[in-house]
């Protein structure tokens, strides 16, 4: 039987960067994953957007830390993860949406976010050919960007392996043992492992893992569809997010990756809770009409494939990163609400500080926003 300082359940968007952060602090880490390799859960369904543009200070700070790590990755480690600093652009077409978004600007800027309201002319300059009818302007955060989830997770994985992290694939956690109210052991379908800490990074299946430790986590998966096109010449730089609601969508968003492909996704309305990963016939006709309506030149671009992934949702749109009195040593890093990839490096650093007892006052403030015992009454506007 092996002994570890930390066992992480899930080798996905959160688990792999967290393992890397812990290994940098000289901890002995095991990551247990039921799939054959890293990123085979929801990470491979992520479209790659990375932003610090949120409506809450805690998520902004985590997002800024993540942006810092993503943007410096190639210079630091040598891996090209297809990072692009293209920004995020929210074109605004209604007075209500303008008020909603501009009312947040002062607060967002107070947390260090580079974000501004820009006029119609500047929106048209940033995204040439955008539909200008009723366009009032837009919210623009130029420091946000995108990267390849596949390349990034493999880069995090390679660095974690170099620092001694062990990864057990094709292995399923079946039981979490506790003694005197503290976690002591993880049992799987292949063995048992002693540990001091267990981190739940199980994404869409976070609730089931939490229940093994006697912890009920209010996280449920919401089904979202995405797609990718053939590569075409560079058309625009930012992630374009249209927040106008329709009968079947709360919003939709798209960007052009480093290889020239348009990657896009839609937030369904009403929410579709469940774990069905099968793509539907309704998605492409709906989102294509919306995207062509806002950027007509996309009408000639061919779609290569579509898919459906799961967003592990909380009711307020904020993660749950916390410890638990009834299961000491058990830590949740779950409920990322479809933003796991973009928040992952910052979350990994935060969890590592929790375990090593090196939290700053700012870190503690962030954790209060992510507490499992919060009231869940606030709402993340940018979820």
| pLDDT reported for residue 198 | 98
Question: Is the pLDDT assigned to residue 191 strictly greater than 90?
Answer: yes
Question: Is the pLDDT assigned to residue 383 strictly greater than 90?
Answer: no
DSSP state string for 207-240:
HHHHHHTT-----EEEEEEEEEEEE-S----SEE
Question: Is the pLDDT assigned to residue 187 strictly greater than 90?
Answer: yes
Question: Model-level pTM?
Answer: 0.97
> 254's torsion region: left (phi>0), alpha (psi -120 to 50) or beta?
beta
| pLDDT reported for residue 149 | 97
Mean pLDDT score across all residues of the chain: 97
Read off the pLDDT of residues 64-81 as tens digits, 9 standing for 90 and up. Answer: 999 999 999 999 999 999
The upper half-sphere exposure of residue 289, i.e. CA atoms within 13 Å in the direction of its Cβ, equals: 7
Question: Is the pLDDT assigned to residue 280 strictly greater than 90?
Answer: yes
Strand partners, 6: 29, 197
| pLDDT reported for residue 132 | 98
Average pLDDT value for residue range 250-262:
98
C-beta atoms surrounding 161 within 10 Å: 14
Question: Is the pLDDT assigned to residue 24 strictly greater than 90?
Answer: yes
d(CA 242, CA 27): 43
Which domains occur in the chain, in start order?
Answer: 2-51+150-219+316-369 (3.50.50.60), 85-143+221-313 (3.30.9.10)
d(CA 4, CA 217): 25
Question: Is the pLDDT assigned to residue 378 strictly greater than 90?
Answer: no
Average pLDDT value for residue range 336-362:
98
Confidence class for position 1, pLDDT limits 50, 70, 90: confident
Read off the pLDDT of residues 159-174 as tens digits, 9 standing for 90 and up. Answer: 999 999 999 999 999 9
Q: What residues contact residue 296 under an 8 Å CB cut-off, 6+ apart?
A: 129, 131
Helix axes 149-162, 57-77, angle to 10 degrees: 70
Average pLDDT value for residue range 212-217:
97
d(CA 102, CA 118): 10
């Amino acid at each position: 039987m092996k002994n570890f300082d930390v066992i992480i359940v899930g080798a996905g968007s959160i688990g792999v960067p967290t393992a890397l952060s812990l290994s940098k602090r000289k901890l002995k880490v095991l990551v247990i994953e039921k799939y054959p390799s890293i990123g085979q859960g929801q990470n491979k369904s992520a479209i790659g957007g990375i932003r610090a543009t949120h409506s809450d200070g805690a998520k902004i700070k985590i997002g800024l830390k993540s942006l810092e790590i993503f943007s410096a990755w190639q210079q630091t480690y040598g891996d090209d993860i297809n990072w692009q600093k293209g920004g995020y652009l929210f074109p605004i077409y209604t007075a209500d949406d303008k008020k909603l978004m501009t009312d947040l600007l002062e607060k967002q800027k107070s947390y260090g976010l580079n974000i501004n309201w820009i006029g119609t002319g500047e929106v048209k300059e940033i995204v040439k050919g955008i539909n200008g009818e009723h366009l009032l302007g837009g919210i623009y955060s130029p420091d946000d960007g995108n990267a390849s989830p596949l390349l990034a997770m493999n880069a995090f994985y390679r660095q974690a392996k170099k620092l001694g992290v062990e990864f057990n694939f094709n292995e399923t956690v079946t039981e979490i043992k506790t003694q005197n109210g503290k976690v002591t052991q993880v049992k799987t379908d292949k063995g048992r492992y002693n540990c001091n800490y267990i981190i739940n990074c199980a994404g869409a299946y976070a609730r089931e893992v939490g229940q093994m430790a006697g912890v009920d986590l209010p996280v449920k998966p919401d089904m979202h569809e995405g797609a990718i096109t053939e590569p075409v010449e560079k058309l625009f730089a930012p992630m374009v997010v249209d927040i106008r609601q329709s009968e079947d969508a709360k919003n939709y968003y798209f960007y052009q990756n480093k290889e020239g492909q348009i990657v896009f996704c839609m937030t369904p309305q009403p929410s579709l809770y469940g774990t069905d990963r099968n793509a539907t016939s309704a998605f492409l006709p709906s989102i294509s009409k919306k995207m062509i309506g806002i950027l007509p030149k996309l009408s000639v671009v061919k779609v290569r494939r579509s898919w459906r992934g799961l967003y592990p949702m909380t009711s307020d749109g904020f993660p749950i990163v916390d410890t638990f009195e009834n299961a000491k040593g058990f830590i949740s890093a779950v409920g990322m609400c479809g933003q796991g990839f973009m928040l992952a490096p910052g979350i990994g650093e935060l969890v590592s500080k929790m375990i090593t007892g090196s939290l700053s006052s700012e870190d503690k403030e962030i954790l209060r926003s992510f507490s499992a015992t919060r009231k869940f009454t606030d709402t993340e506007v940018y979820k």
